[in-house]
Structure formats: C-alpha cells, structure tokens
A and B are shown apart, each in its own frame.
Chain A
C-alpha cells in the first residue's frame, strides 16, 4: 500500500467551496511541494504558477505533471521572495486573481 492523502477529498471540496468558480483565474500557489494539491484544482483555472523552495519536490512535481496540464501549469523552485525578485509585482503580467498558501504560511 502506498501512502495516500485526502482520500475522502475533504481538502479539495473545501478548496472549491471557498474559491468558487476558478475558470479564467490566474493563480499562484506558494509551497506547492510535489504538486499533490496542484493537480487537483489546476484543470479548473486558466493559469497556475506553483512555487516551492524545495528543488527536489519541485522536480518531482514537474516530472509527474499530467500532460493535459502542461500548458497551464508551471513549477518554479523558488521561495516567495526570490520569485518576487524575478517577477516584480509592479508589472501587470505578474499579478494574480488568487494566491493559494497551502500548508505553507
């Protein structure tokens, strides 16, 4: 048996309940880890940028990224401050409709 998390889908149900419709939304996920949660909502959003300072986990996330999500999801092995240094929020292209802090504050 492999380890499984949120088999009852309580987390993803709670997320969709609180975000409402994600269609057309541009999202930033901070602390994405290996993408466990990212996969589960990304197909609903227009674009997802997922960051985590743990390179090993981000590499795993990239490897496991489902092919149908490749065009809308990108992973970056960066902490929040590094990300902002490289993508200054004063530029409109770097703004988001939703920021998700998943188990990472």
Chain B
C-alpha cells in the first residue's frame, strides 16, 4: 500500500492531490425493510476480518509522516447498498465484494422475519466510509 502511494506521488503534478475513499471498517449492518421499518439481520464480515482498512489508514499515516503528503481535508459519509431482497443483496455482494462473507445467520434471520412478520420489501448494507484529500508535498 505504501508503494502504491509512492507511485501516486510521482503521478501527481507539484500541487496535485490524492483523494482516498475507503470503508471505516466494521460494523457493517445488514437490514431488511418490512412495512417501512428496518430490522437488523446481522453484519457483513470479511475473510481477512477487515484488516486491510487498518492497513490502508496506517499506509496513509506513514506517507504523511514521511512528508510526501499533507492532509487538507477529511470526512465520513454513509454508503448504502440497497436490493429488492436479502437474496439479491447476498448475490450482489458475493459478485462485487470479493472478500466479503455474508453470514448464514443473516439469511436465517431474514427467513424467520418473513415467516413471522411478512414479506421483505428491500434489504440494505450500510457502510461508514472515510474520505480524505491529501496534497502532494514536492521533495526538495
């Protein structure tokens, strides 16, 4: 990751900026919507237990400490992925989030919820996400 940031430093104009967007890590709740109300089914997991998000933050910290970049702005936002059903969300995440694990308990909870309460109208995953702007510091 640090090597990638070093390459990016060479690609930027002298006053250029790097914008980084990455998840803030867990928890990433999966919810089902029934009759306009959201019900928590469980949480998305990852095969590496979300270790890469901490590594990404550490790599950014290292290049800042080394004087390659300076942080000019940062923030957080909520990123939601919404599907028509829990199955559809499960399939989408399997195809598009390569190291995600959709816990079996989520599917089970969804089935139990449908049986007891009614038909699920949508399902969603919520991810708190970090965004930062870092300006390149040209080496003297």
Contact = CB atoms under 8 A, between A and B. Distances in A.
A1 B88 contact: yes
Tell me which of A14, A28, A30 has the highest count of chain B C-beta atoms within 10 A of its own C-beta.
A14
A98 B79 contact: no
B67 interface: no
B21 A15 contact: yes
A15 B130 CA distance: 11
B23 interface: yes
Contacts of A11: 21, 77, 79, 129
B79 A5 contact: yes
A21 interface: no
B16 A3 contact: no
B16 A99 contact: yes
- How many interface residues does chain B have, given as a range? 35 or more
Binding site secondary structure of chain B? strand
A13 interface: yes
A103 B21 contact: yes
B114 interface: no
Nearest to A33: B96
B12 A3 contact: no
Contact of A1 (B8, B84, B133): B84
Interface in B83-105: 83-85, 88-89, 92, 96
Given A1-B84, A10-B79, A97 B16 contact: yes
B89 to A, nearest CB: 7
A103 B20 CA distance: 8
B23 A103 contact: yes
A96 B20 contact: no
B89 A3 contact: yes
Contact of B19 (A2, A81, A99): A99
A75 B85 CA distance: 32
Given A95-B16, A96-B16, A100-B19, A6 B11 contact: no
B19 A19 contact: yes
A92 B11 CA distance: 9
12 contacts: A1-B83, A8-B78, A8-B80, A10-B77, A11-B21, A13-B77, A18-B19, A19-B17, A30-B8, A99-B16, A100-B19, A101-B18
Which 4 residue pairs spanning A and B have beta carbons closest together? A1-B84, A10-B77, A89-B10, A105-B56
